Amino acid sequence: MRLVLVGPPGAGKGTQAKRIATHYGIPNISTGDIFRSNVAEMTELGELAKNFMDEGELVPDDVTIAMVRDRLGRDDTEPGFLLDGFPRTVPQAEALNEILDSYDVALDSVLKLQVDDEEVVHRLSGRRICRSCGHTFHIEFDPPTREGVCDLCGSELYQRDDDRPETIRRRLDVYHEQTRPLVEYYKARDLLRIVIGTGAVDEVKARAIEALEQPVA
């Protein structure tokens, strides 16, 4: 099974990626992990990416694509893979096609986790982070015993700027603008499967597996 997972921030992609990948016995590959691995190992691509990141600039597509090409060429991807965070744009999708063609394989499905924008705002705006140990709480789903105080170390909890409702809505606007062409691209190729991403974690996973096992309508 060779999969791409897409969805808005706060849709639970990371959680579902791990579960779906485990279900199929394939590696869960996130672009964040690829970047961190290359930088930590001080590979040539990692050093190149770090130069851009240190300057606060986006890593160019050609560097990202080269990292993905290298990762997909490893032995553990022979039974398949799940890509989370790549591609994000149509040019990246076309580059992925070229990579897979060079390995004589093809995508099986693109799974889109669909979550209403206001649900995303609700999920992300409820996060609170400990200033000392970095542990994450949620005021509704995983609240601390004492409001505003970390259960683990007793330090103050705070809300990141990125988790404020107005910032989340701006991020969602960017996501929709950027991802809409990508979704249409895969829909036109009969690869897109849409799964509602609300509900219990296991329920969402079950829906995702069911969708992946069914032929595309």
Question: Minimal CA–CA distance to 108: which of 85, 133, 83, 86?
Answer: 83
Q: Are 130 and 146 in contact (CB under 8 A)?
A: no
131 belongs to the catalytic site: no
Contacts with 130 (C-beta within 8 Å, 6 or more apart), sequence order: 136, 137, 150, 152, 153, 155, 156, 157
In DSSP terms, 193 is beta-bridged to 111
Measured distance CA(145)–CA(44) in Å, rounded:
46
171 belongs to the catalytic site: yes
Task: Please state, as a whole number, how many other Cβ atoms lie within 10 Å of the Cβ of residue 10.
Answer: 23
127 belongs to the catalytic site: yes
In the set 36, 74, 146, 160, the catalytic residue is 160
Measured distance CA(46)–CA(196) in Å, rounded:
36
In the set 88, 164, 169, 187, the catalytic residue is 88
In the set 164, 169, 171, 187, the catalytic residue is 171
Alpha-carbon dihedral sign for residues 157, 197, 24, 21: negative
In the set 2, 71, 127, 207, the catalytic residue is 127
In the set 13, 112, 123, 193, the catalytic residue is 13
Catalytic annotation, residues: 13, 88, 127, 160, 171
